Amino acid sequence: MKLKTRVVPSAATQALRPKMWSLYQEYYQLDEAVFLQRFEVNQYYALYEVEGELVGFTALRSREFESSRGKVMCIYIGQSCILQQYRNRSLIPQTCVSLVARSYRQNPLRPIYLWCDSLTYKPYLAFSKATTYTYPSHKRATPEHIQSLINQLGTYYYGEKFNPGTGTVKKEVNIVNDPSAIIRPQDRQEPAIDFYARKNPHYLEGNGLITITQASVDNFMYCAVRCLKKQLCIKKSPRPSKSISLNSSFSQP
């Protein structure tokens, strides 16, 4: 079985939305009408399929911002939903590597940042493990220009719900329906998880922590090598192989 990734415009998901909702409601507590409204906000979706059957997806948005160091491209990754048996295969990092590579080919001088609103420790930990540096971090202070960009993203996308003092986003309800996302005392032995718990103490109320990393050469190579190693391990097992198909319109601002 071949695990295939397609990145398509949001409008191209119309026929798949009932299936996407079916997958999504297993892991999140959200009204279907609100879920469908997000297709108007998210520009693209990465679709994960096995033999034509949808097994997961993640939402993507790209927008150019004017930072203190010039124009930068910010790519949002969120609303991820992947069936349990297809997790831990670096699907999202591998998708990001491909998207970044394509964007750099079109404009190699424009810095690229990947970011998400971490509702649980899992996306934060994924960012931390897939890159050499992610912000905010227990390893180092957040540089001023990165903090400024975090504040821009938070204010633009979340308005008054964003707290620039903490970098968190206040949510009305907790939409996550995943018991494994609850941080146990033993989980906090992992420094990144402990940091997340301290930085976003109200995550159980649904609050998110804006998490960001630059797609720099060292980060890009580190993530690419990590994905390659994981793919080689998968090929030694009976798990499905992977391929990626990118829609040409994705990297347009």
Q: How confident is the model at residue 103 (pLDDT cuts 50, 70, 90)?
A: confident
User: In the structure, what pLDDT confidence band is assigned to residue 132 with cuts at 50, 70 and 90?
Assistant: confident
pLDDT in tens, 20-60: 999 999 889 999 999 999 999 999 999 999 998 999 999 99
Domains and CATH numbers, the chain: 1-82+224-253 (3.40.630), 112-214 (no CATH)
Query: Which letter does DSSP use for residue 135 in this model?
Result: B
Give 139-176 pLDDT, tens digit per residue: 999 999 999 999 999 999 999 999 999 999 999 999 99
pLDDT of 245: 43
Q: Which residues of 89-103 are buried (b: 16+ CB within 10 A; e: fewer)?
A: bbbbbbbbbbbbeeb
Residue 136, sorted as left (phi over 0), alpha (psi -120 to 50) or beta, turns out to be beta
Each residue of 175-210: pLDDT tens digit? 998 888 999 999 999 999 999 999 999 999 999 999
* Per-residue confidence (pLDDT) for residue 222, from 0 to 100: 64
Helical ranges in 107-174 per DSSP H: 121-130, 144-158
State the average pLDDT over residues 76-85: 91
Percent of the chain whose pLDDT exceeds 70 = 85
pLDDT digits (tens, 9 = 90+) for 227-245: 556 555 545 554 544 444 4
Q: Is the pLDDT of residue 93 over 90?
A: no
